[in-house]
């Protein structure tokens, strides 16, 4: 019989975390900082509703499902919407289904947006998409040559802009790791301004996301740590990434550029220099995650399959969630239409905003952002 013990991450025993790490290390699909216990522990320090379903049978621990338990027996991936990858971490052939885990954990539904499921626990349910990874198999010089060969005109122009930036604004240099708190604060401020300008939800506004990123930025030793990489022209920060690393795998969340330097395409210059710096940093994978493939595809030749969707338990809460999902699907929540975009926006708001006031403000911002985009499109036309 399947038994699930639901714990706050801080309640995990050393044996639990050691087993979890060994399971993640044994499966290449789990090779990301977000899928191990360290990320769950970090989120647990800033969110009381963080949980880990420890899955057991006959006294043997079979796997771990980190999540947030939300009202209505709804489970979301731990750290959402920062959890670009999530799922059940286990050994191969675990012998259970996601529905069984939810029922045993007294949950009705688990919503996911970047599901990693190498052992088929979720049964292939969901909409497939690709995540993008920079993973040089040889030298980074050879990798960058392949990038150039795929887009010769663009890369030639970026290199021209790199030289132009250095001539006009001072020495261009990559700082990695960048431990400047002032630069970190700038990077966050630029990202928030970009989110507001583009009408996207400001996931950095709630205290818990701000506290999480700050805590990880200050964690600059050990196998699991925050990592900021900054591109400077003279003494001026012009672009950067911030995220987490686990050993040789880096997963950035925040990619920001200095608005005053837009003419030099600093985000593109950053990529070329960051890839070249991977060996010095001890990085083997620069995991950009899913989405925004219009710019990631040019640099990331490796793709990881992920899924978005929901799985329901065979209980009352699951049946209610199934009815809600069916209603959304009938309304057109699949694909990229208006209803689908609304559903995704609401998912982000409900993931990141923990109070009713925050959720209402998020919806008001969403309506205002949609209006700004319509006005901009009309003026452009």
| Shared domain check, 153 and 96 | no
Cα–Cα distance list, 39 to 129, 240, 287 (Å): 23, 22, 16
| Shared domain check, 121 and 9 | yes
Cβ-in-10-Å burial (0-12, 13-18, 19+) of 132 comes to buried
Cα gap 88→79, rounded to integer Å = 15
| Shared domain check, 186 and 103 | no
Q: Which domain holds residue 188?
A: 136-283
- Could you give the number of structural domains in the chain? 2
| Shared domain check, 275 and 314 | no
**Residue showing tokens 């991450």:** 9
Cα gap 349→359, rounded to integer Å = 6
In a domain, 354, yes or no: no
The strand pairing partners of 75, in sequence order, are 69, 110
| Shared domain check, 103 and 63 | yes
| Shared domain check, 174 and 51 | no
Cβ-in-10-Å burial (0-12, 13-18, 19+) of 340 comes to middle
Render each residue's pLDDT in the chain as its tens digit; 381 residues: 899 999 999 999 999 999 999 999 999 999 999 999 999 999 999 999 999 999 999 989 999 999 999 888 889 999 999 999 999 999 999 999 999 999 999 999 999 999 999 999 999 878 899 999 999 999 999 999 999 999 999 999 999 999 999 999 999 999 999 999 999 999 999 999 999 888 888 999 999 999 999 999 999 999 999 999 999 999 999 999 999 999 999 999 999 999 999 999 999 999 999 999 999 999 999 999 998 777 899 999 999 999 998 898 876 555 555 545 554 454 455 556 655 666 666 777 777 777 667 676 766 666 666 555 554 433 333
CATH number at residue 275: 3.40.630
| Shared domain check, 180 and 220 | yes
| Shared domain check, 156 and 120 | no
| Shared domain check, 161 and 79 | no
In a domain, 343, yes or no: no
Query: What pLDDT, in 10s, does the model give residues 221-241?
Result: 999 999 999 999 999 999 999
| Shared domain check, 143 and 265 | yes
In a domain, 340, yes or no: no
């Amino acid at each position: 019989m399947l038994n699930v013990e639901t714990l706050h991450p801080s309640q995990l025993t050393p044996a639990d975390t050691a087993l979890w790490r060994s399971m993640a290390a044994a499966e290449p699909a789990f090779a990301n900082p977000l899928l191990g216990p360290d990320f769950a522990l970090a989120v647990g320090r800033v969110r009381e509703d963080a949980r880990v379903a420890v899955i057991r049978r006959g006294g043997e621990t079979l796997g771990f499902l980190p999540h947030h338990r939300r009202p209505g027996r709804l489970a979301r991936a731990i750290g959402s919407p920062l959890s670009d990858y999530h799922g059940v971490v286990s050994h191969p052939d675990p012998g259970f289904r996601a529905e069984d885990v939810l029922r045993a954990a007294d949950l009705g539904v688990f919503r996911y947006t970047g599901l990693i499921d190498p052992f088929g626990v979720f049964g292939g349910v969901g909409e497939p998409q690709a995540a993008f990874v920079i993973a040089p198999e040889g030298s980074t010089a050879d990798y960058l040559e392949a990038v150039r060969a795929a887009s010769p005109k663009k890369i030639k122009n970026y290199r021209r802009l790199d030289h132009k930036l250095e001539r006009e604004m001072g020495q261009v240099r990559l700082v990695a790791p960048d431990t400047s708190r002032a630069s970190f604060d700038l990077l966050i401020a630029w990202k928030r301004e970009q989110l507001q300008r583009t009408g996207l939800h400001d996931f950095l506004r709630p205290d818990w996301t701000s506290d999480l990123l700050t805590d990880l930025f200050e964690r600059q030793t050990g196998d699991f740590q925050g990592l900021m990489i900054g591109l400077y022209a003279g003494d001026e920060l012009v672009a950067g990434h911030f995220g987490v690393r686990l050993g040789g795998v880096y997963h950035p969340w925040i990619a920001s550029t200095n608005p005053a330097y837009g003419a030099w395409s600093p985000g593109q210059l950053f990529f070329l220099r960051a890839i070249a710096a991977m060996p010095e940093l001890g990085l083997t994978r620069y995991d950009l995650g899913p989405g925004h493939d219009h710019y990631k595809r040019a640099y990331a030749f490796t793709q990881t399959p992920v899924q978005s969707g929901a799985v329901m338990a065979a209980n009352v809460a699951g049946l209610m969630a199934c009815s809600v999902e069916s209603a959304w699907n009938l309304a057109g929540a699949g694909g990229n239409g208006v209803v689908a975009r609304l559903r995704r926006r609401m998912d982000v708001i409900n993931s990141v905003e923990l109070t009713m006031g925050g959720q209402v403000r998020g919806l008001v911002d969403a309506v205002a952002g949609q209006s700004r985009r319509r006005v901009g499109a009309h003026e452009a036309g």
